[in-house]
A and B are shown apart, each in its own frame.
Chain A
Amino acid sequence: MKKQTKQQVFLLGVTFAAFFSIAVLFFALYFVARDGLGVISWEFISAMPRQRMTAGGIWPAVAGTVYVSALTMGFAVPLAVFTAIYLNEYASKGWVVRMIRLAIRNLAGVPSIVYGLFGLGLFVSTLRLGHSLLAAALTLAVMALPLIVSASEEALKSIPDSFREGSFALGATRWQTVRYQVLPLAIPGMITGSVLALARIAGETAPIILTGAAYFYPLIPQSVSEQFMALPYHLYILATQHEQVQLVRPLAYGTALVLLMLVLSMSLGAILVRSHVRRKRDW
């Protein structure tokens, strides 16, 4: 083959691959939207389910997902950010840090059902939290931890050492350097990473089934010790566990659409924050 022909073929190949990936996303969106849009209404989002989940809305599942996600972030973000600060700013670059980092990387690859089992064993049983919002949030927090630690470490690493040196040379302590020079520049990256982790966590099903999500609990939780409904589990029930699966299929698609919109808008928000900060950044 001639050089130019090879070039053409290769270009065609990579272009096709790129468009294929995008097409898959839009295809999925299209299918969910086609079958789900019909049931979407204000009532669907804001009403309690009725008549054995064949009518009414999904409000408890929306609220449950929002609650458990917010609680998860409340536990995970501070812990992850402090871990990242320790690893990147304090710990000397020895084998201990390498081991911790390796452990965190591996945590990110553990299947979510295993986290669920871990949460069931530790939070639900051993710590006697029971099937509850709290146990589920703690389990999801463990799962979110490696994601946010990695993102936060990346954010810290992107800050040039020359800023740290300049600060130290003026007599700043390590904490003052982190507090006044490093963190302000790293926070946008940490926020972006946390929101992307949040989007990931909000859609998790396996861990919460084992630790706190309820099959049917048409109430808004009043305390963290209650069970809760959640969008991904509700979707799973409507799609496979319901006694009239065919009848509630549109509701399943509607639930999927709401979950997808929730997650995509979070990702979009994170991307907007990132691009805004990148444009403003002058270093």
Chain B
Amino acid sequence: MVNPEAVLSSRNVSLWYGETRALNQVSMDIPERQVTAIIGPSGCGKSTYLKTINRMTELNSSVKIDGLIQFRTKPVQHYDVVELRRRVGMVFQKPNPFPKSIYDNVVFGLRLLGRRRKSELDRIAEMSLRRAALWDEVKDRLRDSAMGLSGGQQQRLCIARALAVGPEVLLMDEPCSALDPVATAKIEDLIFELKQEYTIVVVTHNMQQAARISDRTAFFLTASLIEYDQTKRIFENPRDKRTEDYITGRFG
């Protein structure tokens, strides 16, 4: 029933916040080392779907979930949540570096895992910052507070922080919506680079962005997955009238 090629598969996932249904029978397979974009109007459930994958929705005690979300070989509920979140990293809408030094931000996840050797931490910190295309800008001020960075740099730091613990999947929740166009372009380039090694799921309300960076696109509307296909197909020849209306800007 579950596609073995997929890194992440969901089947009939429904979610309620109290009495409000935020996801309705969502089924989709997310392929490895590709960028999957999730688009849709505000409140359609796209961010909620992302958060069910790494079980961040559990932090809200009024949430009820039904259906199956499988990561690799087993359902996400069967993972130790620490392991799951290490392997499935997340980047948030508003850059949220910790009010600590740049270095301490990057190695925080490693320290949680009990890694203490300075040489190892240094090596992984540099590697992660390089992958997040931030190293050259911060290598001389790793001990400075992360709060002194620009918004775009902060967001790349959050990406580096997520990469440091060695994830396989990166979930990005509107990662550019708080950034200016230049910083946005940098993050988009970075996403393109990162998909060589990581499976990326990115929620965005920006359709041009989805078209630019993603291989596959899912369109959500009122808690349901309406259409999910190759990005090219979604934008050039959507099957569903509602998808067409949305991408041509008739609503949303």
Contacts and interface: CB of A to CB of B under 8 A. Distances in A.
B147 A180 contact: no
Contacts of A170: 85-86, 89, 108-109, 112, 161-162, 165
Contact of A282 (B83, B85, B145, B161): B145
A15 interface: no
B79 to A, nearest CB: 11
B85 A169 contact: yes
A30 interface: no
A172 B145 contact: no
B56 interface: yes
Interface in A254-269: none
A282 to B, nearest CB: 4
A167 B54 contact: no
Nearest to B86: A171
Interface residues of B, number: 29
Interface string B144-179: 010110000000001001100100000000000000
A168 B98 contact: no
Contacts of A281: 99
Interface residues on A, range: 20 to 34
Contacts of A169: 54, 56, 85, 89-90, 92, 162
A181 B111 CA distance: 13
A217 B54 CA distance: 65
Interface in B71-109: 81-86, 89-90, 92, 94, 96-99, 108-109
B61 interface: yes
A283 B145 CA distance: 10
Contacts of A185: 99
A88 to B, nearest CB: 14
B30 to A, nearest CB: 18
Given A171-B112, A283-B147, A166 B98 contact: yes
B92 A168 contact: no
B59 interface: yes
A168 B158 contact: no
Interface in B91-133: 92, 94, 96-99, 108-109, 112-113
Interface in A77-95: 92-94
Contacts of A172: 82, 108-109, 112
B157 to A, nearest CB: 11
Contacts of A158: none
B16 to A, nearest CB: 16
A166 B85 contact: no
A92 B97 CA distance: 26
Interface of B: 54, 56, 59, 61, 81-86, 89-90, 92, 94, 96-99, 108-109, 112-113, 145, 147-148, 158, 161-162, 165
16 contacts: A92-B61, A94-B61, A162-B92, A163-B96, A163-B98, A166-B97, A169-B85, A170-B86, A170-B112, A171-B85, A171-B86, A171-B109, A181-B98, A282-B145, A282-B147, A282-B148
3 tightest A-B CB contacts, nearest first: A162-B96, A92-B61, A170-B109
